[in-house]
Amino acid sequence: MAFTFSPERLSGENALLPEGPAYFSVLDEVKVIDPTTLHFITKAPDPLLEQRLASWASWIINKEDWLAKAETDGGVPMFPVGTGPYQLDTYRADEAIHLLANDDYFGGQPTAASVTFREVPEPSTRVAGLISGEFDIITNVAPDQIEQINSYDDIETVQWFSPTRMC
């Protein structure tokens, strides 16, 4: 767990995770208390630290696997060992990510056998895909499209706001 937050991977000048220094430059030191406990010391008060620790950059990774795969994948492993309910099946930059259920997930069997995230930049294409059934969920719906979507009996729009999300 300590390697996840080490300067080598996350916050140092030559960090293995390219976005790490910008995201975690607030870290001054991470002390290992025991195998499952770390003590974070920041350079200054950071009201976003909790959010940073819950983000993608803080996913706990396996050091040996990360370093071995980083060498062959150009610095950031494409298929790192993980512990979540889904595992990466395919990744196509700026196009799609396909995940398969991790049947060995400690939290139980995932509810879907697979999940695909597609990048669809054009808003009208996202709406058309939702209406046709090609997509189950879309995000970033423009206000002028809500009435059209809600006119279908089997589709609904839901507004979601997280008070803990800070942009």
130 and 65 in a common domain: no
CA 21/CA 101 separation, integer angstroms: 32
129 and 78 in a common domain: no
List the beta bridge partners of residue 117. 97
127 and 77 in a common domain: no
Residue 126 lies in a domain: yes
pTM: 0.61
Residue pair 17/10 in contact (Cβ under 8 Å)? The answer is yes
Residue 156 lies in a domain: no
Residue pair 100/113 in contact (Cβ under 8 Å)? The answer is yes
124 and 77 in a common domain: no
Both tokens assigned to 14: 């030559």
14 and 70 in a common domain: yes
Residue 13 lies in a domain: yes
- Among 45-59, 73-87, 111-125, 130-144, the minimum mean pLDDT is found in 73-87
Task: Work out how many domains the chain is built from and give that number.
Answer: 2
Residue 100 lies in a domain: no
Residue 162 has pLDDT above 60, yes or no: no
Domain that holds residue 136: 120-150
Q: Which residue has the higher pLDDT, 21 or 162?
A: 21
Both tokens assigned to 63: 């050091």
Residue 165 lies in a domain: no
26 and 74 in a common domain: yes
Residue 136 lies in a domain: yes
- At 74 the pLDDT is 63
How many Cα atoms within 13 Å fall on the side-chain side of residue 46? Answer: 17
Last residue of a domain, one of 66, 82, 98: 82
Question: Mean pLDDT across the chain, nearest whole number?
Answer: 86
